[in-house]
Amino acid sequence: METIQRSASEVNRKPRARDLGLPFSGTTGPANAITDVAGVEVGYSTVISDATPLGRGPARTGVTAILPRGSTGPVRAPVWAGFHSLNGNGEMTGTHWIKEAGYFTGPIGITNTHSLGVVHQSILQWMNKRPDTGVGPYQFILPIVGETCDAYLNDMDAFYISSAHVVEALDGASSGPLAEGNVGGGTGMICFEFKGGTGTSSRVVDLLGYRYTLGCLVQANFGIRPLLKVLGVPVGEHIRSNRLWAGEQGSIIAVVATDAPLMPTQLERVARRAGVGIGRTGTPVGDGSGDLCLAFSTSNLSTSESATAPAVGNLAFLPNNKLDPLFEAAAQAVEEAIINAMVAAESMVGREDRFVAAIDHDALRKLMRTYGRLNG
């Protein structure tokens, strides 16, 4: 019934925005992905099938798993985090505790709206089967699971995502280059009425004599065509074919990772700048959007029971007045990740024979060249 895709090493890498000559600002890491942040790993389970049981609609969905400390690291060790909601018509579990305590433990899952529950429970089961040595006991775990709605192409009420898919994504997590577009939780997603999905990007920043990496991964499922802007160019005003709807639609999950030492309040500020990157693509963030942004830092690792409340003297952090380069890096990386998701995505036919076209690379390049916004 399904195909499983875990990392870019198992699929032919699709073109990316920079491959088309789009001149995004900033210096990227080696893979231009969230996995450029040391220790961060990503896995996918991609579910695509027309031969579905009980005569239900087609499956066009999946799961994305992000492991902040990797599959061989101390999975239960907390990471400091911050959360920001541009508009709250969506769900990301565990964020109340992030607001309260400033950290979370374990993997992050991203999937479709109706599969949030099974992903949450499956992450707990996966973690309970692999206790980390050297990490203090925790009475409870609140996994981070975000969702966007793929119901235009996928029959969400068929509940195709199972615990096995979640485990496939978690166990298949890896570092290095990542597949984008129609993979993982982004399989059935739509962005500015083009086929959207999963995208990623990264930036390296020099601050106070140190080099830090910031990366992001998005599940892009938002926007209407006339509002689409690519590096400021009004692409949506020119590429008008295969329109889907008139009103603002959809949501986006943006996860930002960094190895820079930041406090939870500073990470919340970084999460807000992810919203700047989303806005650069042209969306006004409509009433129906669930535009949810999470930022975490892999710095300040502690594997003792006191990791949940380390002594003030043991917590390293950058001064607030030096954070502007990280703010800009977050905005740049999220903007590019969204465009990467669209560029890598392929056209898809889903439920009720609905067709969603991928953005035409040649048309995009021609338009960007007309506006003087193309390399080469």
Please list the active-site residues: 251, 289, 291
Rounded distance, CA 216 to CA 335, Å? 10
Alpha-carbon 70 to chain mean position: 16
Query: Which runs of E-coded beta strand occur in the chain?
Result: 41-49, 59-67, 79-88, 103-104, 108-112, 144-148, 190-191, 194-195, 197-207, 210-222, 250-258, 290-297, 348-349, 355-356
| Cβ contacts of 256 within 8 Å, gap of 6 or more | 214, 215, 216, 270, 271, 274, 293, 294, 295, 296, 330, 333, 334
- In this structure, the dihedral spanned by the alpha carbons of residues 69, 6, 326 and 264, taken in order and rounded to 10 degrees, is -40
- 295 burial type by CB count under 10 A (0-12 exposed, 13-18 middle, 19+ buried): buried
CB 207 within 8 A of CB 316: no
Rounded distance, CA 267 to CA 58, Å? 39
Largest Cα–Cα separation, the chain: 61
CB 31 within 8 A of CB 180: no
Rounded distance, CA 171 to CA 71, Å? 8
Rounded distance, CA 102 to CA 317, Å? 14
* Beta pairing, strands 290-297 & 250-258: parallel
DSSP 124: H
CB 89 within 8 A of CB 287: yes
Rounded distance, CA 373 to CA 376, Å? 10
